[in-house]
Amino acid sequence: MHKPVVGGRASICTWTLEFYFFDNDQTRKFIKLLMEDEISFNFEYERVLEDTRELHYVTISGSWANNLVRISEMLKEVDYQYE
């Protein structure tokens, strides 16, 4: 049985998450939250012009399931809310 270890710690989960926002303000809020947090990650941002709108793509790679949950919580904070 293969048990991957990285830096002396078991590698539980590695992941890559890609998503986009239509609104640049959401993107800025998310990136601000991401930069203020202490989780370990790699991320890329790309603005894509598509016909009549802009798409703001974010790709994040990281490890550990709890970090993925934290990213999800940040996305929930900046997502549109029904009133």
Find the mean pLDDT for residues 38-50: 90
Report CA dihedral (60, 61, 62, 63) to the nearest 10 degrees. Answer: 130
Model confidence pLDDT, tens digit, residues 65-74: 888 889 999 9
Fill in the amino acid letter for 19: F
Residue extents of the structural domains in the chain:
9-78
pTM assigned to the model = 0.76
DSSP labels for 27-67? HHHHHHHHHHS---EEEEEEEEEETTEEEEEEEEEEESHHH
Q: What CATH code is assigned to 9-78?
A: 3.30.70.2750
